[in-house]
Amino acid sequence: MTGKCIMAAAVAAAGLAMAAPASATIISFMDSSGLSAEAEFTLLNPNQIQIRLKNTSTGVPMGFDSADQLLTGLTWDTFGVAGQTITGGTAITGPDSSSIGFNHANVGPGGDVGGEWGYGMGPISGLSNFFITGNMSGQTLFGGANLDGPANGDGPQAGLVADPALVALGGTGAIQDEIIVTINLSLPQPNLDFLSVADVYVEYGSDAAFVHVPTPGSLALFGVAGVAAVRRRR
């Protein structure tokens, strides 16, 4: 399917100042088609950020198939720290999530899915400078057992499907509906302020759709095809 870029408008931003350990910033992505997602960034310590990524979709664009509906990646363009890189990490299913239809082994809540998800630094294949992804392009796996398909990221399989699924999965393996990723960083990260200025977006399928949070200056150019909200939680 030809990739579809959906621009979203940032409608709320609050308190993105100094982030103490365990502070969180939540970004909610919503589109008129029903595609939606939530990403929660938590600064665990100066060298680790936890990302909770969830597919909250209630609908999909016309023509989407079983793989297109899967949330397969989250990407952003800056950490706000010169020379910052991702060096590794982990990926597990959320506390109320599990895999569906994996052809080697399924996992329940808190299951290790580092053999299906990974990280990367781009830009590459529609993704920005930093990303977590279930797709193979530019990906370094977090590491773990091969649970579904060949021993690589080979998405969209193992992407996140909404609960309930919006298109019948058939033989497509998926995680319903949340993963928790911890990324390790090469340099101390003082806060999460970069999220107030970064181009943050999510990917569905393999380039099936991207939902962006645009920079403030671009809002007038694109209008509101969807909505993204950025808020702070302690």
How is 123-149 classified by DSSP, letter by letter?
Answer: SBTTB-SEEEESSSTT-EE------SS
The phi, psi pair for 110, rounded to 5°, reads: 75, 15
The residue extents of the domains of the chain are: 5-233
- The encoded tokens of residue 141 equal 């796996």
Q: Which residues contact 217 (CB under 8 A, 6 or more apart)?
A: none
pLDDT at 137: 86
Residue among 132, 154, 126 nearest 52 (CA):
132
Mapped onto helix, strand or coil, the DSSP state of residue 220 is helix
Please tell me the predicted confidence (pLDDT) of residue 19: 35
DSSP-derived 3-state class of residue 221 = helix
- Per-position pLDDT tens, the chain of length 234: 445 555 443 333 333 333 344 679 999 998 999 999 999 999 999 999 999 999 999 999 999 999 999 999 999 999 999 999 999 999 999 999 999 999 889 999 999 999 999 999 999 888 999 999 999 888 999 998 888 877 767 779 899 999 999 999 998 999 999 999 999 999 999 999 999 989 999 999 999 999 987 544 333 333 334 444 444 443
Tokens of 101: 């239809």
Residue keyed to tokens 């100094």? 18
21 phi, psi to nearest 5 deg: -50, 135
pLDDT at 154: 72
User: Which value, to the nearest 10 degrees, does the dihedral of the CA atoms of residues 187, 191, 197, 199 take?
Assistant: 60
